[in-house]
Amino acid sequence: MTTTTQLMLPGQAAAPAGPNDLTGMFVIHHAFRRDLRAFVAAVTGTPAGDTVSWRALHDRWRLFGTFLHHHHTTEDEAIWPLLLSRVDEAGRETLAAMEAEHHEIDPLLAACGDGFATLATHGDEDVRASLEVRMVAAAERLHRHLAHEETEALVLVQAHLTPAEWEVMEEKSAKGSYTFRELMALVPWIMYGLPVEAQRRLLKLAGPTLALLWRVNRRGFARREAATFRSAV
């Protein structure tokens, strides 16, 4: 069996060896972790009365949620079901845990979204303080889920899916019902903050379309990120 050299990024828990190049999975996980850190810092550092900042954070939170929902949906509806018929009992328990963790995370994220929505309309320190607690809890839970996926679920991917099958999964993950704004944000969202070598690897794998979208959108995305998270501490 051919083994592909795997990408290992800051914060990543594991990079299971095997025939499938999991770069796409790891760079998306990196973007989720980056966003979680930024949101926790912004919620802590943004004054409750700064509704302009909260409106920007609310919009950015919805973008984060769109990408996370699509990622989890692809796993729950395509990747995990394909694996279920091939793994042993321990593997089935891991896959069941993956889906259960998605469902546990959803209400935490929804509660954070409610807090952002409220603060985007009027300042309320109690709401901000409550959102801080919920945001920290959601971030901690999602960090644990990503680590669990990397250390156990992706081991199953490497053991039971062929490179051709994984390529189909990657194509499904790349497709989605995105608005034009979301589609234009997707590539810079993934690329933003990646180590340079990881950016080069992803550009080489994904080809000229991704490179073009990155070149066209990266400066605007970086400006918006700086403005949105300007109160982060």
* 3-class SS string, 39-97: HHHHHHHCCCCCHHHHHHHHHHHHHHHHHHHHHHHHHHHHHHHHHHCCCCHHHHHHHHH
pLDDT of residue 178: 76
CA-angle at 191, arms to 189 and 193, nearest 5°: 95
Comparing 233 with 210, the larger pLDDT belongs to 210
pLDDT > 60? residue 109: yes
CB 228 within 8 A of CB 56: yes
Percent of the chain with pLDDT over 90: 87
In this structure, the number of other CB atoms found within 10 A of the CB of residue 222 comes to: 13
Please, what is the end-to-end C-alpha distance for the chain in angstroms? 47
3-state secondary structure 120-169: CCCCCHHHHHHHHHHHHHHHHHHHHHHHHHHHHHHHHHHHHCCHHHHHHH
What confidence category does residue 193 fall into, taking pLDDT thresholds of 50, 70 and 90? Answer: very high
Taking only the tens place, the pLDDT of each residue in 111-136 is: 999 999 999 999 999 999 999 999 99
Give the global pTM: 0.95
| pLDDT, position 175 | 67
Model confidence at 173, in pLDDT bands (50, 70, 90)? confident
Question: 43, 135 in Cβ contact below 8 A?
Answer: yes
